[in-house]
Chains A and B, each alone.
Chain A
Amino acid sequence: MTFFILQVLPYIAVMIFIVGMVWRLCRWLKTRNVHNVVLTPTPKTSCGVAVRYVKEIFLFRSLFNGDKSLWAGAWIMHVTLAGIIGGHIVGFAFLGQQFIYMGVSADTSVFLSKLLGTTFGVILAVALLYLLYRRLSINEAKLTSYFADYMHLILLLGIVSAGNFMRLVPGYSVGFEVPKIYMIQLATFQPVTIDPLMNTAFIIHLLLVQILLIIFPFSKLVHLVGIFVNRLTVDRSYVEPAPGMPVANAGVSVGNAASSGKKTT
C-alpha cells in the first residue's frame, strides 16, 4: 500500500491532473463569446484592462469591494497557499539555502526557510478553518453549499495539518533532503529508496495531495483557470462612438431659448 502511494499513485495523479485540466480548458475554449457582455464601467484601454485583470486575479478586487471578511479569509488563504507551494519548490530545490543569495549564512537561510514555511502553514490552517466556520455558520453560505464544498476545505485542512504536524512535532520532520531525493527519483522514473515506514504523517500528507490533484480538474477548484477565462469575458475595453449629431440646415424652426453654439463635433 505504501509502495503504491509512494511509487505508483504519483504518476497517476499527475497524469489525471494534467490531462484533466487541459481537457477542461479545451471544453471551455470551445465555447464562444457570442455577445458583448462587458461589465461597465470598463477600462478605456487595454492597459487599463490589464490592470483590472491583475487586480481581480491577485487581489480579489470584486470580493474586496463587497465583503471584507470573506475577502480577508479567502485572500490570506490563497496567498499563503501560493507561498507554500512556491516554498515547497524553492525550499526543496535549494535545501533551504535559497536565502544565501540574499546575503545571509547557510544556517540562517535554513532557519528562515523553516520559519517562513511554518508561519505560512499555520496561517493557512487558520484561514481554512475560518472559511469552514463561515460556511457552517453564515446562513447564505450554508444555503449555497453542497457536501463537496465542505470536503474541499476539509481536504486542504488535512494536507495542511499533516504538513504542520511534521513541522511542529519533534521527531516527525523529514527535513529537506529526503523529499528532494524522493522527488528526483520520481521525476527520473527510478525506484524510490525512501523508507516506507519512516513517517506516517509524510505518507498521509502525500496521499492527500495526490487525492487533491486527482479531483482538481473535476471540482470547483478549476476556478483557478476559470477566473482567467471569465474575467477576459466581462472585463474588456469599450470604445464609445463619437457624440454629436448632424445639425439641420433648413426646415426646423429654432426656439426662443436656443443658444448660439450648435456646432457638432
Chain B
Amino acid sequence: MSVNKYTAPAMAKEKEMRALSIIPVSDENKVKEALKHLKHLVRKFRPLMLAMESCTKCGHCAENCHTYLGTRDSNNIPTNRADLFRKAWKATHTLEGRVFGKLVGAEPLTLDTINKMYAYFYQCNECRRCALVCPFGIDTCEVTFAGRQLLHWLGMVPSLHASVGEAMYRTGNHTGLPKPGLVDTCEFLEEEILEESGVDIKIPIDKPDSDVLYIPSSADFLLNPETMMGAARFFHYLGINWTMSSAIAEAGNFGLLFDQRYTLRFNTMRLLDEVIKLNIKKVVWGECGHGWRAGKMYVPSMTDRPVPVPIVHLHDETAHYIRTGQLKLHPEVNNKPITLHDPCNFSRACNLGAKLREVLNPCVTDFREMTPNHERNFCCGGGSAILFDDPGMYDLRIKFSAKKAEQIRATGIGENGDGYLVAPCSICKAQFYPILEEHDLGVQVKGLIDLVGNALYPPINI
C-alpha cells in the first residue's frame, strides 16, 4: 500500500475489503483500472458528464463550500475537487484535452492523483451547497459519489465506511447490534419513558402485522436515546400500530456514501423484504439525512421490484399532524433558546426544510433562525459520515465546522450555556457531540422528534 502524502482517513485493510466482496487492486494496476471505471461512470451519469464538460470555472462555488472556507485549501474548492476527475477525463476522452493538455486543464491520471482523490473525495461532505449556488446546477456531490465509487472498486475505502458496510451486511444495522441487544435497549428505554413522563409506552421490534414500519437510525438506540423515545411517544400518542425491524434497524445507507451499486441496492432490498414479511402498510423513516435521501430518492431507482408501500419521513408525518391540529403540544417544556441546523440532505435533497419549521415552532418557546437557513444553510462538517477520529482528519472536522460554529454563535443561543441546537440527523448529531465542545458554544444537540415527544408528554417531575 502506498503512503498517502495527503491528509486522508485510515484505509480499510484487504481483509475488510474482502468482507465487502472487493479485492483491492494493486498499485501497478490502479491507473489502468481507474480509467476503465472513469469512462464507465462518466458515460453513464448525466450530472457527472455535465460536471465534466460544462463548468465555466467561474469560481462561485468556492466561497459556498464550508470545507474550503474552513481550510482555504484550494483542493477543497468544489470545481477543483471535480478536477480530480475532470483532468483525467479531459486528457483521455476529449479532443481539446488531447490537443491542448494542461492549457485547458487536462492531465493524464497518475497514482498520485488517485491518492489525492482518496483524500479529497473523503473531505467532501456531499452536502450539495455547490449545486445550489452553481449557475448551471453542476453538482460536485455527484462527482464525489462517482469518485468514491471508483475508489471502492479499487479497494480504497476508509476503514470507518467499510466496517459500517460490513456491520450492515451482518446485522442489518450500522452499530452491529444483534436482535437481543435491540430488544434489551428498547425495554430499557420504555422504563425511562415511564419514569420521565409517567406513561407506559411500548417500543416494539419485529411485531408482525404492524401497520407502520419505523426505520430508526441505529445510533438512536445508544447515542441518541431521546430521539428513539421521542418517536415512540409520537407513535403512541396517535395510537399507531407500529414496529421496528431487527433486520433493518437502520435509517442510514452507506451505499449512498461509498458504493452506490451493490451496497446501496442490498440495503434497499433488505427493507422491501421486511415490508413484505411484517405485512407493513407504510414505512416511516427516522432522523438521518443521507439515509432519508437514500430512502426517498434512491429506493425507487435501486430496487429490483416495485415499491409496494408509501415511504415517508417521520417529519412529513409530524408536520401533517401538527398542521391538522391533532397534537396537543406543551411548548413551555422546551423553553431553552433553540436554533435549527438544517441537515443538508433534508433541505437540499428531500424537500423537508419548511416542514422542520412547521414542527419545531409549535414545540418550543424561543426559536431563533440561524443565517443562512433552509436550503442555503451550511453543512455540519460531518456529512457523508466523514466522522474520522484519526488526528489529521479530526482536525479537519473542526475546520469544516468553523462556518457552522460562526452561524450558531451569531444566534446567541449559547450565551447562558443552555442553548439547544436541533439537528435532526444522526450524522449531524455525531459530528456535533464533540465539535460543539471544540468550539465552546454553550449548546447541546437535540433531535427534533425529541422535542416533539417532550411537548406531547411533558416530564412529570418538573
Contacts and interface: CB of A to CB of B under 8 A. Distances in A.
B348 interface: yes
Centre residue among A31, A35, A251 by max chain B CB count within 10 A: A35
A144 B351 CA distance: 31
Contacts of B46: 28, 31-34, 229, 233
Contacts of A145: 57, 59
A102 interface: no
A86 B420 CA distance: 57
Centre residue among B131, B137, B320 by max chain A CB count within 10 A: B137
A245 B211 contact: yes
A252 B317 contact: no
Contact of A35 (B135, B202, B297): B297
Interface in A220-254: 220, 222-223, 225-227, 229-231, 233-235, 238, 240-248, 251-254
Nearest to B96: A218
B289 interface: no
Kindly state the interface size class of chain B when it binds its partner. 35 or more
B433 interface: no
B45 A34 contact: yes
Contacts of B58: 70, 74, 141, 144
A142 to B, nearest CB: 8
For the residues of A in contact with B, the DSSP-based class is loop
B150 to A, nearest CB: 16
Contact of A148 (B95, B105, B240, B351): B105
Contact of B77 (A140, A146, A256, A261): A140
Given A143-B74, A255-B236, A262-B238, A233 B137 contact: yes
Contact of B298 (A35, A56, A62, A225): A35
Given A34-B301, A220-B54, A248-B211, A261 B104 contact: no
A247 B77 contact: no
Given A31-B43, A40-B348, A65-B133, A243 B104 contact: no
Interface in B291-345: 297-298, 300-302, 310-312, 316-317, 319-320, 324-328
Interface in B29-67: 42-50, 53-60, 62-64
A144 B57 contact: yes
A146 to B, nearest CB: 4
A254 B316 CA distance: 22
Nearest to B103: A147
B164 interface: no
A87 B211 CA distance: 66
B199 interface: yes
Contacts of B137: 39, 56, 62, 230-231, 233-235
A218 B54 CA distance: 10
Given A41-B351, A144-B59, A230-B50, A62 B134 contact: yes
A138 interface: yes
A246 B282 contact: yes
B312 A230 contact: no
B349 interface: yes
Contacts of B352: 40
Contacts of B456: 257
B192 to A, nearest CB: 15
Contact of A246 (B49, B138, B212): B212
Contacts of A42: 351
Contacts of B21: none
Contacts of B205: none
Given A28-B53, A146-B105, A233-B47, A243 B351 contact: no
B284 to A, nearest CB: 7
Given A245-B240, A248-B239, A258-B238, 18 more contacts: A34-B301, A40-B353, A40-B375, A143-B62, A143-B80, A144-B59, A146-B102, A148-B96, A148-B104, A226-B54, A233-B50, A240-B316, A247-B238, A247-B241, A254-B237, A258-B237, A259-B327, A265-B320
Interface of A: 24, 27-28, 30-42, 56, 60, 62-63, 65-67, 70, 74, 138, 140-141, 143-149, 215, 218-220, 222-223, 225-227, 229-231, 233-235, 238, 240-248, 251-259, 261-263, 265
The 6 closest A-B pairs by CB, nearest first: A226-B54, A248-B241, A243-B320, A140-B62, A40-B351, A234-B137
12 contacts: A24-B53, A34-B44, A40-B351, A146-B105, A148-B105, A220-B54, A223-B56, A223-B136, A226-B53, A242-B310, A247-B241, A257-B456
